[in-house]
Amino acid sequence: SSNIDVNASIGTIFSIYKRLSPDKPVDREDIFQKGTSQVAAGYIIYGSSTMFIYTTGNGVNGFTLDDSIMEFCLSHPNIKIPETGSIYSVNEGNLMEFPEGVKNYLNYCQSSDKSEGTPYSARYIGSLIADFHRNLLKGGIYIYPPTLKAPKGKLRLLYECNPMAMLMEQAGGKATDGKNRILEIEPTELHQRTPIFVGSVKMVEKAESYLA
């Protein structure tokens, strides 16, 4: 990651699936499972403190590394993302390549309307884990839409979007590709990419309304 060179927050994402073929060598059916088949997912974020966030399908908990004992201690029990928020995270440098629906949603985010709670604050680090982590705790939406250069999006389904989607749903949020639930997407390639809209339920649903 280019974030390493500039000392920006980075992390490690993981997910765990059950093998479907325990009595034979690993094959395609073991790897190409939907996100709904995950039994655990999480990430470690390396920032001002080192945190471990994970779920086993029964809520989301956060642990912070205590350097004095070199153990992760429960610091954020039962994390729940707010139903809505005031932060949107997207690389607006690609704005001209976004679909019209995404452009229109971003115009909404920037509009001044007290009844809607806008304008929102733009916060984009360019590190999926760092942007996701902030929005998970504070409320917000992270968007990586399709572009003219990358019509299928940039982030990988199996090892980026699926684990983050499981975490977000377990925390009470939502994750879609703009139309479909991320966890329901059928994987066909190891490095398969997908657009993603992930975050507070009301914010994701509002974004989807512009994409319909």
Mean pLDDT for the chain overall? 96
Which pLDDT band holds residue 3 (cuts at 50, 70, 90)? confident
Q: Tell me the residue range of the domain where 156 lies.
A: 87-211
Please report the pLDDT score of residue 1 as a whole number.
Answer: 66
pLDDT digits (tens, 9 = 90+) for 152-175: 999 999 999 999 999 999 999 999
Residue 1 vs residue 85, higher pLDDT: 85
Do 138 and 69 fall into the same domain? Answer: no
- Single out the residue of 137, 199, 138, 126 nearest to residue 168, CA to CA: 199
pLDDT reading at 77 higher than 70: yes
Do 158 and 57 fall into the same domain? Answer: no
Among residues 76, 106, 128, which one ends one of the domains?
Answer: 76
Looking up residue 105, the CATH number of its domain turns out to be: 3.40.190.80
Please report the pLDDT score of residue 140 as a whole number.
Answer: 98
- Single out the residue of 60, 88, 57, 62 nearest to residue 74, CA to CA: 62
pLDDT reading at 22 higher than 90: no
Looking up residue 25, the CATH number of its domain turns out to be: 3.30.540.10
On the CB side of 48, how many CA atoms lie within 13 Å of its CA? 0
- Whether 109 maps to a domain, the answer reads yes
Please report the pLDDT score of residue 23 as a whole number.
Answer: 86
d(CA 47, CA 56): 24
Do 99 and 65 fall into the same domain? Answer: no
Do 72 and 99 fall into the same domain? Answer: no
Do 70 and 127 fall into the same domain? Answer: no
- Whether 4 maps to a domain, the answer reads no
Do 34 and 92 fall into the same domain? Answer: no
User: Angle 11-2-182 (CA atoms, 0-180°, nearest 5)?
Assistant: 50
Residue 1 vs residue 41, higher pLDDT: 41
- Whether 182 maps to a domain, the answer reads yes
Do 42 and 18 fall into the same domain? Answer: yes
Do 205 and 105 fall into the same domain? Answer: yes
pLDDT digits (tens, 9 = 90+) for 201-212: 999 999 999 997
pLDDT digits (tens, 9 = 90+) for 46-76: 989 999 999 999 999 999 999 999 999 999 9
Q: Which helix (H) or strand (E) holds 210?
A: helix 201-211
Under 8 Å CB-to-CB from 102, ≥6 apart: which residues? 143, 145, 207, 210, 211
Please report the pLDDT score of residue 33 as a whole number.
Answer: 97
- Whether 128 maps to a domain, the answer reads yes
- Whether 3 maps to a domain, the answer reads no
Q: In total, how many domains does the chain have? A: 2
Which pLDDT band holds residue 2 (cuts at 50, 70, 90)? confident
